[in-house]
Structures are given as structure tokens and as C-alpha cells.
Structure 1
Amino acid sequence: MDKNRATAEAILPLVGDAANVSSVAHCMTRLRLGLHDRSLVREAELRALPAVLGVVEDETYQIVLGPGTVARVTPEFESLLTRSRTPSPSPSPSPPPSAPTADGLAAKGEAMRSSRKARNATPVKLLLRRIANIFVPLIPALIGCGIIAGLGGLLTNLHQLPSLAPALAALASGFLSLIAVFVGYNTAKEFGGTPVLGGAVAAVIVFPGVAQVDAFGRHLAPGQGGVLGALAAAALAVRVEKWCRRRVPEALDVLVTPTLTVLVPGLVTLYGLMYAAGAVAGAIGDFATWLLRYGGAGAGLVLGGLFLPLVMLGLHQALIPLHTTLIEQQGHTVLLPILAMAGAGQVGAAAAVYVRLPRNTSLRRTIRSALPAGLLGVGEPLIYGVSLPLGRPFVTACVGGAAGGAFVGLFHQLGSAVGSTAIGPSGWALFPLLAGDGGLGEALAVYGGGLLTGYVAGFVATYCFGFTHTMLAELNTPPPATAPTTPPRPDTEPAPSTP
């Protein structure tokens, strides 16, 4: 049995089985479950599972599985839920129609997400997920080093603590100078090879001595090819290692396999991959610069408006290596602040839903609880709990993202480029990681203006065009009153129903 399916099957009975699970989601490391009754959780047994690294109780019940693992276990868990839940016929007559509740919309959003995952499990998208799994574990280090770099730059600009600024610069740059090694390590781990051999092959890319290598009459530059070259080199190393494991006698395996795994891909990297990956990386940087320099507002509008659909299709994972390449080349990625505007449009759309449905207390409660996370760039609760199941508000949220992206793109064209020194955070959480050609103050102003534009445009578009008259009539009614747990005594009059 697949280990991820086995993990899902072990977790489900320990959280009260399918009937106790109201929602399923995951972030980089945690399986997030909405549970009807947490007292049914057998936490001691859950923590004892080998795949479970910890448990966190919050708005959702969060099971820490680690990066990469959680992305594989979650679909298996959702599949188990789908198979376990069968509709039960009810002998009682159907109740009168009422407004969809937040739980109903969340269930609808979850069903849409599960259906989308089932339809989109194509080889290309599965490959993109695996590539994302290589880079996601690097995000905490990118964030930490990005903030340290920003702090060091601030001290330099303010002419404060001159002896500390170089130390901060060293701390911030050390990881980026060796990021190819970490990418090689994670690539080999993800594709089933020996991680340290993947790191060893990728390390040649950043070794200063490659400057002495004469490959076809040209000398290499340390770091040439960057993370893309490291990924390709480690992937090739995995292929060579698996070939050796099948053919090298066991008595010689410990000597021959590691040697060939480093030697063959290492030579291919030095005499081919570093050139090819360097050309691709340079083209990515040049294209991003050209696109925003000459595309401006139009490019920002398209990027900001299409990012939410890309997330829905799973294609946003292809952007992670691009962001990392831009950070490695230029010190920041100019694409992320524009793409982050999609979250601003989502927040504005959710606020408009809240205002337009004053009597739907269940949905408004969901929006109130999810908005703080949305402001910090965590948009999944709003997407799958509010806008996507409602339909039209998802489209108007994209309009808000397009408006915010156009704002940031326009200022880039005017010479006020804004970038992020790390990937992962979005919304307000991106402010500490901003960098720009015109200084930190200008970058903060442009990004803040983009967020405000996205909020306002998403709100206005949703308020004016997010609902039909029929949708308003169906949605803008209070949820049905909860039925009493015990029937009234036969010798008393039943209490009047609440209007």
C-alpha cells in the first residue's frame, strides 16, 4: 500500500472518522481539519503515528506532517472522505428553502477543490507539484534571510551601526550563495535518490574553482546556471544512481554507485548544463524586466487578474523556480508583489459579500474569521469558503487583483520597481520583505497603493456585479433556526417561532 494512503487511513479513525470532519485543507506543513467534535479525537494515538510530527489546536485542528508529505497525504485523505460519505435518504419532507450556510458553502468549495484535483492530476501538473516540493522547504530560510537583508540595508541607509551592517549582509547572502546545494539535495530526495549525492553534484555549480575549467574555449563562472542548473544536475544524478543500483553488484555498490553518481552528472553539468541553465536563467531575468518595463499596467493587469485562476488550476507552482531564480539573480523577484494583488482583490470581494448579505449570519461569521488571514496573504479560507462556491464573487475578486496589479505595473514602468526578497508571504506580511530601485519608502508606498487599489476594486466590482437578483433573494436570508433537542411537553403550548 502507498505510504501516503496508509498515513491517511491511519489518521481518519483517530479524528472521529469521516462524519466528524467538516473541512480539509493544507498549508506547507500541516493538514488542517475542521472537526465537528474535537472530543472524538484520540490525540495520544495520533501523535504516536510515525508520520505525524506534531498537533496544533487552533481555528482548525492541524496535524503537522512536514513539507512535501502533507501535499501527498491530503488528496488521499480527501479521497477517503469521499468514499466514506454516502448520501442517506431522509423520510421526512424537505424543509423550505433557506440561505446557504457557511458550512454548506465550505462543503461546496471543498467538493469543487477535490473535483478539480481529480481532473487536474495530469503528468505535467504532478511534475509541477514535485518541483514545488523541492522549493517549498527553502521558503523559511528565504524569508529569514530576506528580512535580515532588509534590516541590513536599512541600517546602511540610515548610517547606523556600521560594524553590524556587514555582518547582517553576510548572514543574508550566505544562504543564497549556497542555495544550489540545497536545491540539489531536495531534488534528489524528492525524486527518490540519495539526497547528499544530489547536493554534491549541485555543489559544483557554486564552487569557485569552476572558474578554472575551460569548457569548449570558455571559462565558467561560479554560480552559472543557479537553481535551475542545480535542479537539472540533481535530477540527472538520480537517474544515474537508480541505473547503478540495478546493475552494479552489491559487493561493489558502496564504491561504484556514489562515484558514478557524482562523476557522470558532474561532468555533464560542467560541460553542458551550466551553460544551458545559465542561458535560461538569464532569459527569465531579461524577460521579467522587459515585460514590466514596457508592458507596465497592461502586464500587471494580466498577471494580477489571472493569478487566482492559476492557483485553481495548480499552475502557480511553476512560478516558484522563476521567483527563486530572480531572487538569486537580482536580489528580489518583481513578479511576487504584482501576483500578491490577487489576494487584495479577494479580500475586497469578501468584504463586499459581507456588506451585501447582512442577514446571512452564518456566511458573515465565516468572513469575519477568515478576513484577518486574508489580509496576511492566506486566501484559501476566503476562496474555498466564500468566493469560489458563490461563483460570481470569484470573478470579481480577479477584477480586483487585476486593478492592483495594473497599479504596481504602472509604477514599475515609471521607474519605481518593487520586488520581494523572498517568496511565501503575501498581503501585509510582504511589507518587511519589500525592496525597490527607489528605496524602501518608495517600495512600501507603491505596494501599499496596489493593495488599496485591489481592495477597493474588488469591493466595488463585487458589490455592483457579484450578485444577481435571484442570488440576493436566496442568500440574503437568515439560516434556519435550530430544531429543539427535546419535544415540548404535551400539556404546554409550544413556544412561538422566532421570526
Structure 2
Amino acid sequence: MGKFQQDAEQLLKELGGKENIAAVTHCVTRMRFVLNDDSKANVPAIEDLSSVKGTFTNAGQFQVIIGNEVPDFYNDFSAVSGIEGVSKEASKAAAKQNQNIAQRLIGVLAEIFTPLLPAIIVGGLMLGFRNFLEGVPLEMLGGQTITQSSVFWNGVNGFLWLPCEAIFHFLPVGITWSITRKMGTTQILGIVLGITLVSPQLLNAYAVNGTSAADIAKNWTWDFGFFTIEKIGYQAQVIPAMLAGFMLVYLERFFRKHIPEAVSMIFVPLFSLLPTILAAHMILGPIGWQIGSGISYVVNAGLSSSFSWLFSLVFGGLYAPLVITGLHHTTLAIDSQLVADFGSTNLWPMIMLSNIAQGTAVLAVYFQHRGNKKEEQISVPATISAYLGVTEPAMFGINLKYVYPFVAAMVGSAIGGMLITITNTRALGIGVGGLPGFLSFKIENYPMVFISMLVTMVITFVMTFVFRKVKVLNKLEPQLDESGFAMATAGGPAVSVTHPAEGASVSDNAPGVVTKEDIFAPVEGEVIAIGQVSDPVFSQKMMGDGFAVKPKAQEIYAPVHGKVMSIFETKHAIGIKTPGGAEVLVHMGLDTVELKGAPFEVLVKVGDTVTPDTLLSLMNLEEVLAAGKKTDVVVAFTNTEKIAGFTLNKTGEIAQQTKIGEVEVME
């Protein structure tokens, strides 16, 4: 009888039986199931299993978090179920079959725009700063703007237009590149196609409305004798670039199948690129422009009409649920089109306030559960990250678990969104979707931006306390006394909340001797809290507490003194046990199990004794990035039942082998 046979049998039952499982595989920490009917999975019962640390659904896969012993669990599950595992690629293919068309389209849209977000966000901040420099008369300067009174700042303002133009005017280049990258075709062709949409030879899209038809016909056309094509640019246009990008992808796929390999290097790019460029300027561009303008017009009209209060109330309240479904990625394209058409967006301000509301709801829960040290390790960084525009740790780590803070955030976001919309407070572009978001507005709008933020935060904070007492919205917490705080259990001290994803309640009276052990940076780079990792399994601490490093070097060292206990077959993860008993997972890259070990060279073997001076592995960062994966090196303490606490003393840029924290281990 295998170690996990009993849990494996129960898991099979709670998943709806063998007939409900379309595919199963596993990675270093989790079982990945593709279910025929997700509704048959009994999630509470699954999370009650002793070997399960949590569950998570993503991209059509139902994932069950096991931990370091997932290979053994997988073997026992295969034995009791009679189901043979499939490759990761086959599992993902099956997962896509489990998604409807809308889910697939949303997934594609998300993967196209996500790589562009860093540039779009920083571009929005720079536009806001330029607006302050050139558009705000100051009394101390005699009513002049900073650029009018200072040669230096006038130069700074002019210089900053260089990256702003590159980000927003040349956005089609990023879109066409991202499409070819996501679809696995030739990325340089995507870049070339994007450049042909924004070339200086073309009439700039921003100048089209001010140019007469006669002038365009005379000066801005290619004349082929029996037909002409207008030389119109598509600066900042989203849909024309997307249509052209997908046409290029499918033409390249078609010709790669039908052109002999010996001449494919010449004729596949030629027959793919030239027809796409021609179609982009004759058909796809004009049609896409009209579609994009139509969408932005409808959204802008709805948010500017006499019913704007209703539109904004609904959108502000429902944006957070959109994040759960992934539909929120569609707003990126709409926001970009609004900025292109109207010079500003009235959609993004509501998104900014929704993020602030999620952070405030977690802050309220922190005050309600103060003293719960283990939950504070999630709630404090989750609040900070939400206030800085990243809401997933807040939503999935706290708010959705308890439900009532999530609903309170929806109410606060709805009212704040309505307020900022009916006052016609528009953003110059997409910026940081949290408290720093005010930088994306004109300075004369700052008072209303700050008022809307304050209203959102106050309403959310208050409603979190109110909704906590509504039983239908609160099913996970202990019984509350009249003051709204947890009552003591009979015959014992007050207990903290038990979280299914964490698997244990927290007590200040835990028995046993606690050993402190030093933790070191495994690689040179930027140290971040684990709540900032983009993989929810790590950021929600389903695998335990820890930290991550965004590496600048390929050399990965041991973060602790200890012994190597496991090396995953795809070489991307190594397990180490410390003398004090902490089980430490060193996970190199995110989702790098799919790379089958290619970018990694492991330099240790199971049973080796290691120190922070021991080189564990080499990770080819360029190869990982080229595969579309993130290089974050995550260090997690996976035997959470023995971890009394973890303190991360240093973050930011740091050298490898530098002491950055301590872990407390109970014997």
C-alpha cells in the first residue's frame, strides 16, 4: 500500500471518478487535472485531505497542490485510478478543449498584452510627469510652467517624449511582435510588419482628421496606375495591428506546410509578409480602425452620457469579478483605443479604484484578524501590492477566501468609480493601477482623483466590517461575538482562522523548541516577497512561505545549509532539508517544467551536503526568456507544519550568498 493510497482514492472520488478525468499530469508541486465537468469536483472535501495544501484552477486545468512529494502521490493516484498520465503539452491541449471559445479568445488576448504591460504602465507615468512639467502654471514661477521657466526641465520634457512616442505611437510594433511570439511563428517578421504600420513614410494617424481628402489623394497615396493605396499610418491603433498580426501568423503556418524546407527560408517570409502588408493597408487597417473607433466611441459615449452614473456603477463594481474570469484583459485594448481616439481614457480610472478597493479590504481584514501572525504574512504584502496595482495576492489570498471583503471591495469600487466618472475625471493613459495612479491624470484633476480614492477606501473599509456580520457572506471565520471579533473556543485560548490553502491554524502557544536558521540569496538579482511572484500557487503561499529573486546571473546557489533530498526530473527544482528540519524548495523559473530541463545544468546530486557556497545549478536565462517563461527563482519552505515563522530582512538588489533572512523551525 502506497503512502498516499488512501488520499489518492479519496481524491479520485471527490473529482467525480475516473470517467470525469480527461487528462492528468504533474509538475514539481502540483497534480494537474483536466476535468470533463469541473462542477463535479468537491473542492472543500479535496482541500480537507491531509496531503493536499490547496487547489487552484487555471487555463482549463484543475490543479491540486501536494508539495515536494507530488511524484509519489502521482504514482499512487495512477495505481488506484488506472489512469496513465500524459505529457504537459497534451494536458494543456486537453485543457484548451475544456474551454469555450470565449475563454480561449480571452486567454490569447491576455498572452498578447501581458508582455506589453511594463512598457504601457511606465509610459503612462512618464506622460503624467510630462503633463506636470509643461501644463501646470505655478505661482512661485510667476504663473509660468516648469518648462517655460527652466531650460533643463524643458530639455527633460522633450527627451521624455522619445520613450513615450516609442511606447504609444509605435504600439502596433509591440502588438504584432507579441502575437508572433505567442503563436510560435517568426518574431522578426512580426516586428517588421508592425514597423510598416507606423513608418515615417506614412501620414501619422493623429494627423488624418486634420488632413483633407484631396491632400491625402495628392500627397499620401501609392499610385499603381489602375488603383491606389492610401499611405495612412496606424499609430497607437490596436485592432488593425491585431488583425494584421494574426493574418501574418496563419499565412506563415500555411506556407511552412506547403513550401519545401530547402527553399522555405526565402519563400515563407516573402509569401507571408508581403501579402499581409498589402492587406493591412488596403483592407485590415481601414476595417480595424473603424471597429476600434466604434468600440471606443460606444464606451466613451456610455461613460459620458446622462447614464454614465449607471454605467460606471456597474463597471466599477464588476471589474474585480472580471479579473477572476480573465475578461479584464479586454479592457487593455479598449483603454489603448480610447487614448488613441480621445487623448485620454475614462475607463482606466475605475480600474485603478478597483485595485485600491481590493487592497483596502485586505487592510480591513488585517485589523479584524490582528494577532494572526501567519495570515499577516499574506495580508500585509497583499495590501501593499494591491495599492501598487497588483491585486491577485489580495483577491486570491484573502478576499475570495472570506467572500465578505471581496463584496465590500466591489461596493467601494462601484461608488468610487461612479464618482470619478460623473465628474469627467479622465486619465491620460494606463498607469499604475493603485495609489500612484494619480500621476496619470492632469494636475487640475488631482483633487477629484484623491477624493475618489478616499471615498473608495472609506466605503470599502467600513463595509468590510459590516459584511463580516452577514452570515451568507461569511462562512469561514470562527463564531463572532457582538463586537465582531472571534470568540474563544470552549476550554482553550482564542484561535485564529484556519485557511484551507494553508492547511493549519496558527497558535501562539505551539509546543516544541524553535530553531532559527539563516537564509541566503541563491542568486544575484532583485529579492522580492513571495506575495509578489506572479504564480498564484507561490504568491498565495500554498507551497509555504518564502521569497523569490529576479536573477541577473545564471549561477544558482544553495540558500541554506543542508542536504539535497530531491532533484526533479526536469531539473528546474531542487529540494533541500536543513539541519533544523526545514524542507526548502528551490524552484528555478515559473512554469519551467514545460522546458524539460533544457535551460538547466544541475551540479549536485541527491544526498550531497550543501552550504550557501555550493553551486546548485546553472540556469540559461536567455533560453528561459526565449521560451516565454519568467526567470524568478523561488525559495519556499514547504513543510509548513514545522515552520514557526520566516523573516525577510532584505529586499531589492542584492548579491548572491548574502544573508537576507531567518526561518524558525519547530522540532
Normalised TM-score (structure 1): 0.69
> Within the alignment, does 1:199 sit opposite 2:191 as a pair?
yes
Structure 2 letter corresponding to 1:9: C
> CA shift at 1:134, angstroms?
1.6
**CA distance in structure 1 between the aligned counterparts of 2:235 and 2:123, rounded to whole angstroms:** 21
> CA shift at 1:467, angstroms?
2.5
Q: Is the 8 A contact 1:348 1:400 kept in 2?
A: no
> Within the alignment, does 1:168 sit opposite 2:173 as a pair?
no
Structure 2 letter corresponding to 1:456: V
Secondary structure at the counterpart of residue 133 of structure 1: helix
Q: Between the two proteins, what is the percent identity of the paired residues?
A: 24
> CA shift at 1:353, angstroms?
3.0
> CA shift at 1:142, angstroms?
2.1
| Aligned residue among 119, 137, 140 for 2:118 | 140
Residue by residue over 1:464-495, the C-alpha shift from the partner in whole angstroms, topping out at 9 and shown as x without a partner, is: 23323685653614236455349xxxxxxxxx
**CA distance in structure 1 between the aligned counterparts of 2:378 and 2:170, rounded to whole angstroms:** 43
> CA shift at 1:224, angstroms?
6.7
Within 5 Å, which residues of 2 pair with 1:31-50?
A: none
Q: Is the 8 A contact 2:56 2:63 kept in 1?
A: no
Cα pair distance change 1:213/1:287, threshold 3 Å:
farther
| Aligned residue among 286, 289, 295 for 2:300 | 289
| Aligned residue among 352, 372, 387 for 2:399 | 387
Residue by residue over 1:27-83, the C-alpha shift from the partner in whole angstroms, topping out at 9 and shown as x without a partner, is: xxxxxxxxxxxxxxxxxxxxxxxxxxxxxxxxxxxxxxxxxxxx98xx879457499
| Aligned residue among 166, 169, 176 for 1:177 | 169
Structure 2 letter corresponding to 1:194: T
> CA shift at 1:138, angstroms?
1.7
Within 5 Å, which residues of 2 pair with 1:275-354?
A: 275-294=286-305, 295-354=307-366
Q: Is the 8 A contact 1:120 1:313 kept in 2?
A: no
> Within the alignment, does 1:127 sit opposite 2:105 as a pair?
yes
> Within the alignment, does 1:419 sit opposite 2:427 as a pair?
yes
> Within the alignment, does 1:484 sit opposite 2:502 as a pair?
no
**CA distance in structure 1 between the aligned counterparts of 2:350 and 2:422, rounded to whole angstroms:** 11
> CA shift at 1:305, angstroms?
0.3
> Within the alignment, does 1:464 sit opposite 2:473 as a pair?
no
> CA shift at 1:292, angstroms?
1.6
In the other structure, the counterpart of 1:449 is: 451
Structure 1 letter corresponding to 2:360: G
Higher mean Cα deviation, 440-449 or 268-277? 440-449
> CA shift at 1:349, angstroms?
2.7
Secondary structure at the counterpart of residue 202 of structure 1: helix
**CA distance in structure 2 between the aligned counterparts of 1:353 and 1:80, rounded to whole angstroms:** 25
Cα pair distance change 1:281/1:224, threshold 3 Å:
farther
Q: Is the 8 A contact 1:334 1:420 kept in 2?
A: no
Secondary structure at the counterpart of residue 443 of structure 2: helix
Cα pair distance change 1:24/1:208, threshold 3 Å:
farther
| Aligned residue among 470, 474, 482 for 2:479 | 474
Secondary structure at the counterpart of residue 302 of structure 1: helix
How many equivalent residue pairs? 392
In the other structure, the counterpart of 1:431 is: 438
> CA shift at 1:196, angstroms?
1.2
Runs of 5+ in structure 1 lacking a partner?
A: 14-18, 27-70, 88-116, 487-499
In the other structure, the counterpart of 2:380 is: 368
Secondary structure at the counterpart of residue 340 of structure 1: helix
Residue by residue over 1:140-175, the C-alpha shift from the partner in whole angstroms, topping out at 9 and shown as x without a partner, is: 222333333333332223223334432322332133
Q: Is the 8 A contact 2:177 2:187 kept in 1?
A: yes
**CA distance in structure 2 between the aligned counterparts of 1:420 and 1:86, rounded to whole angstroms:** 52
> Within the alignment, does 1:269 sit opposite 2:280 as a pair?
yes
Q: Is the 8 A contact 2:201 2:231 kept in 1?
A: no
Cα pair distance change 1:119/1:223, threshold 3 Å:
closer
Q: Is the 8 A contact 2:51 2:66 kept in 1?
A: no
Cα pair distance change 1:136/1:332, threshold 3 Å:
farther
Runs of 5+ in structure 2 lacking a partner?
A: 1-23, 32-49, 75-94, 136-144, 203-219, 481-485, 488-494, 497-504, 514-667
Secondary structure at the counterpart of residue 276 of structure 1: helix
| Aligned residue among 383, 387, 397 for 2:409 | 397
In the other structure, the counterpart of 2:27 is: 9
> Within the alignment, does 1:256 sit opposite 2:260 as a pair?
no
Within 5 Å, which residues of 2 pair with 1:43-122?
A: 78=63, 81=66, 84=70, 121-122=99-100
> CA shift at 1:456, angstroms?
1.2
Structure 2 letter corresponding to 1:474: Q
> CA shift at 1:409, angstroms?
0.9
> Within the alignment, does 1:229 sit opposite 2:240 as a pair?
yes
Within 5 Å, which residues of 2 pair with 1:152-167?
A: 152-157=130-135, 158=145, 159=148, 160-161=150-151, 162-167=154-159
Secondary structure at the counterpart of residue 128 of structure 1: helix
Q: Which has the higher contact order (CA 8 A, sep 6+)?
A: 1
Q: Is the 8 A contact 1:308 1:342 kept in 2?
A: yes
Q: Is the 8 A contact 1:306 1:398 kept in 2?
A: yes
> CA shift at 1:184, angstroms?
0.8
> CA shift at 1:129, angstroms?
2.0
In the other structure, the counterpart of 2:182 is: 190
Q: Is the 8 A contact 2:221 2:230 kept in 1?
A: yes
> CA shift at 1:132, angstroms?
1.8
Cα pair distance change 1:171/1:360, threshold 3 Å:
closer
Structure 2 letter corresponding to 1:451: M
**CA distance in structure 1 between the aligned counterparts of 2:261 and 2:370, rounded to whole angstroms:** 71
Structure 1 letter corresponding to 2:357: G
**CA distance in structure 2 between the aligned counterparts of 1:151 and 1:359, rounded to whole angstroms:** 41
> Within the alignment, does 1:213 sit opposite 2:222 as a pair?
yes
> CA shift at 1:315, angstroms?
1.0
Q: Is the 8 A contact 1:225 1:277 kept in 2?
A: no
Q: Is the 8 A contact 1:224 1:278 kept in 2?
A: no
Judging by fraction of residues, say which structure has more strand. 2
Cα pair distance change 1:329/1:24, threshold 3 Å:
farther
Secondary structure at the counterpart of residue 418 of structure 1: coil
Q: Is the 8 A contact 1:132 1:320 kept in 2?
A: no
In the other structure, the counterpart of 1:54 is: none
**CA distance in structure 1 between the aligned counterparts of 2:123 and 2:180, rounded to whole angstroms:** 24
> CA shift at 1:250, angstroms?
2.0
> CA shift at 1:388, angstroms?
0.8
Cα pair distance change 1:285/1:450, threshold 3 Å:
same
**CA distance in structure 2 between the aligned counterparts of 1:369 and 1:240, rounded to whole angstroms:** 46
Q: Is the 8 A contact 2:316 2:351 kept in 1?
A: yes
Q: Is the 8 A contact 2:359 2:382 kept in 1?
A: no
> CA shift at 1:257, angstroms?
0.9
**CA distance in structure 2 between the aligned counterparts of 1:128 and 1:352, rounded to whole angstroms:** 32
**CA distance in structure 2 between the aligned counterparts of 1:156 and 1:353, rounded to whole angstroms:** 42
> CA shift at 1:387, angstroms?
1.7
Q: Is the 8 A contact 1:225 1:275 kept in 2?
A: no
